[in-house]
Amino acid sequence: MKQERNLSSPIAFLNGLTAEDIGNEHLSTSYDTPLRPDAFEQTDEQKMAQIEYHFRQIMEILGLDLTDDSLKGTPHRVAKMYVKEIFSGLNPENKPKVALFENKYKYNEMLVEKNITFYSNCEHHFVPIIGKAHVAYISKGKVIGLSKINRLVQYYAKRPQVQERLTNQIGNELMQALQTPDIAVLIEAQHLCVASRGIQDINSTTVTTFYSGRFEEENTRNEFLKYIA
């Protein structure tokens, strides 16, 4: 079962909801990733040391024996994973450098990069979102290397996310990077906060889309959907 979400005005649904409601309903309150102004005043090593300490406290509260060989290194591993891997997209220093090239091939048709696998994490419960992104653009005279599209998808996926925001962030970034309004993004993902807890529905996936420029035209959009079907 696929659940398709309307990205037009997520804020309109939030009136009167508590923070608990928003989290349980997997709703977004911001188009940008919510970050404090001092988010990058600490080094990665300082952040890892604090996360390691606090995660150790969590494990001890849960009653786990951290003297066990299997568990004693877990706080450090989790801290390193958070900062260096699964949430590395929070740090703008990790943003991929995108070099534009002249479209010497004079290829003015749609370019589609599909089935870009990504792993993200739900910002409401910090459990994985596993999905695929399909991206297309029509050149306005500039092109980028194909791997850069994958890297941009991964950069925005590697942070606490909601799927609607992730879709918009990828679409807006590609418009700026490629200097063209003609961008399409479709993401289909499984949310483990739905599959492994709460309703525990392991069969549903969520589909979100971003269309701009010529992709707002039905014929162009249908051509894109045909390619990724």
**What pLDDT digit, counting tens, does each position of 70-95 carry?**
999 999 999 999 999 999 999 999 99
Residue 170: pLDDT above 80? yes
Indicate if 163 belongs to the active site: yes
Indicate if 52 belongs to the active site: no
pLDDT tens readout for residues 55-74 = 999 999 999 999 999 999 99
User: Does 8-94 match 101-228 in CATH topology?
Assistant: no
DSSP the chain: -EEE---S-GGGG-TT--HHHHHHTT--S-SS----TTTTSS-HHHHHHHHHHHHHHHHHHTT--TTSTTTTTHHHHHHHIIIIIITGGGSGGGSPP---EE-TT---SEEEEEEEEEEEEETTT--EEEEEEEEEEE-SSEE--HHHHHHHHHHHHSSEE-HHHHHHHHHHHHHHHHT-S-EEEEEEEEEHHHHSSTT--SS-EEEEEEEEGGGGSHHHHHHHHHHH-
Q: What is the pLDDT of residue 156?
A: 98
Is the domain spanning 8-94 CATH 3.20.20.70? The answer is: no
What is the mean predicted confidence (pLDDT) over 26-45? 85
Residue 101: pLDDT above 80? yes
Q: Which CATH architecture has domain 101-228?
A: 2-Layer Sandwich (3.30)
Q: What is the pLDDT of residue 28?
A: 58
Indicate if 26 belongs to the active site: no
Q: Which of 125, 154, 161, 173 is catalytic?
A: 125
The residues spanned by each domain of the chain are 8-94, 101-228
Q: Which of 26, 122, 161, 169 is catalytic?
A: 122
Q: Which of 26, 52, 123, 173 is catalytic?
A: 123
